[in-house]
Amino acid sequence: MTPSLASPAPPTATRPRRALLAGSAGNFVEWYEFGVYGCFATVIAAHFFTPSSASGSGGAGPLIATYASFALAFFFRPVGALLFGRLGDRVGRRAVLVLVIGLMTCATTLIGLLPTQATAGAAAPWLLTLLRALQGLSAGGEFGGAVALMTECAPPGRRGRYGAWQSFTVALGLLAGAATAALLATVLSPAALHDWGWRVPFLLALPLGLAALWLRTGLVEPPGRVDRPGPVARPGRADRPGRADRPGRTEPPRTASAAAPDLAAAALPVAGATARAVALGIGRITGWSAAGYTFLVVLPSYLQSTLGASFQEALIATTFANLGFAASILPAGALSDRVGRRPVMLCGALAVTLFALPLLHVLQDPATSTPVKAAALVCAGATVGLLAGPGPAMLAEMFPARVRCTGLGVAYALANAVFAGCAGLVITTLTGLTGSTDIPAYYAAGACALSAAALATLRGDDHLGPLR
């Protein structure tokens, strides 16, 4: 029996899974690239930020410049979150998700084709920085659109689990990036890896991005989230205390002058209550951002430059941390659907605050056995997973549908710009200035202590009601 074209069939049971795959695929590609960039930071520093890359060295200066480029991409994320978030809230989630994955795929592939400083001279670092900025713009729109899509399509009582897939594919992307780098470091000679092998992971983003693009072109907007011209209830009426919508009531057509205030309000999407929610959201995920990048992205370069580990040893260590991260995310998201977001995320924030320094001392101690170091790395990653699992659903529940893409995207982008994008730059600079090898632990623990205070303000029943 063929459904009528005039009366579309309701979403099938497979629709949430399609939304899950489409939203997750883009996250995987995005974080795969960021993982690769972190793993190859020392190689990229030699090729793009030193006058001669033949030696593959140059002290801390080139590495700091590499992390500055890394941080710059994060500071373009809030711009992308605002730009693509407003587009996603006004036009739809699908259009934004297709656009941002195309932009990310092109920028990442071009990094793999860039001429180095030995070939292009001073233009090489500027070209790399430009592509990183484009990646930052696309990544800013990716999170808000993907999390909004996955949580809005989630079955009742499973928002935490569905939102956790965003973080899980982040872990898979970082893990795939680290594993790809480790594989290349194993099968290629150091000279070949330094000469051309580092380009291969960036070029692999092209087929991965095309697969994600194919998944997203078949998306349909989430049920009940349609912002189109026509008689609709005024946005926010149902959210106002003491006011209920009357059945069947619709808004009368408005004149251009009546619509003008709404257009002005749309130009300021982070005003009033939304701005307060964004600020609170930043506080709640500060620890997630800082600890995640410290343990999962900055770790390889820290182990090499500060503790004298080899490239292969640093990549294997990062792989263990990412395995712990990936293993805890989905259980943490599912648990938060049962007991609430607050206890699970508070547990993660307090664990990092209390144990970051002891865990780092385990890695620093040359007498510690390899299995114990591996277990410490797995635990470090798992504590971050307790924050990242419930985090997307927690953010989605803070904003109504009309500003959800923008609100949660801007909160996530700003937190990551300040506390994640700058992690490598801050840790490398402070370690050089102070001579202390404990800076990564202080950085992660301090951020998680701030997050714990903000997470304590979460309501215990936020996970039970429907999305606004």
pLDDT tens sequence across 153-172: 888 888 889 889 988 987 78
Percent of the chain with pLDDT over 90: 16
Q: Is the pLDDT of residue 246 over 50?
A: no
Q: In whole angstroms, how far apart are CA 463 and each of 156, 158, 250, 332? A: 10, 9, 30, 13
- Between 63-77, 95-109, 194-208, the lowest mean confidence (pLDDT) is in 63-77
Query: What's the rounded mean pLDDT across residues 369-396?
Result: 89
Mean pLDDT (the chain, rounded):
78
Query: What's the rounded mean pLDDT across residues 131-145?
Result: 84
Q: Is the pLDDT of residue 251 over 70?
A: no
Structural domains of the chain, count = 1
CATH code assigned at 190: 1.20.1250.20
The CA distance from 266 to 277, in Å, is: 17
Q: Is residue 291 part of a domain?
A: yes
Higher pLDDT, residue 42 or 77: 77
Q: Is residue 258 part of a domain?
A: no
Residue with tokens 């994600």: 212
Measure the CA angle with vertex 143, ends 142 and 149; round to 5°: 90
What pLDDT is stored for residue 286 in this prediction?
92
Confidence of residue 392 (pLDDT cuts 50, 70, 90): very high
Residues 313 and 349: beta-carbon distance below 8 Å: no
Which residue segment(s) compose the domain that 379 sits in? 15-222+269-455
Interaxial angle between packed helices 370-388 and 273-293, expressed in degrees from 0 to 180 and rounded to the nearest 10: 170
**DSSP structural state of residue 294:** I
Query: What's the rounded mean pLDDT across residues 199-206?
Result: 90
DSSP run (H or E) holding 190: helix 190-192
Q: Is the pLDDT of residue 186 over 50?
A: yes
Query: What's the rounded mean pLDDT across residues 341-353?
Result: 93
Q: What are 130's two structure tokens? A: 């430009």
Q: Is residue 234 part of a domain?
A: no
Q: Is the pLDDT of residue 242 over 70?
A: no
Q: Is residue 235 part of a domain?
A: no
Q: Is residue 58 part of a domain?
A: yes
What pLDDT is stored for residue 54 in this prediction?
44
What pLDDT is stored for residue 420 in this prediction?
78
Q: Is the pLDDT of residue 386 over 90?
A: yes
Residue with tokens 């430009």: 130
The CA distance from 64 to 424, in Å, is: 8
From the list 355, 378, 358, the residue with the least C-alpha distance to 448 is 355
Query: What's the rounded mean pLDDT across residues 84-93?
Result: 83
DSSP of 380-397, one letter per residue? HHHHHHHHHTTHHHHHHT
Q: Is residue 241 part of a domain?
A: no
Residues 53 and 46: beta-carbon distance below 8 Å: yes
Q: Is the pLDDT of residue 263 over 60?
A: no
The CA distance from 217 to 95, in Å, is: 8
What pLDDT is stored for residue 68 in this prediction?
66
Confidence of residue 312 (pLDDT cuts 50, 70, 90): confident
Q: What is the pTM of this model?
A: 0.73
pLDDT tens sequence across 401-420: 888 888 888 898 888 888 87
Q: Is the pLDDT of residue 248 over 70?
A: no
> For the CA atoms of 437, 286, 342, 138, what is the dihedral angle to 10 degrees?
-120
Q: Is residue 462 part of a domain?
A: no
Q: Is residue 369 part of a domain?
A: yes
Q: Is the pLDDT of residue 321 over 50?
A: yes
Q: Is the pLDDT of residue 66 over 80?
A: no
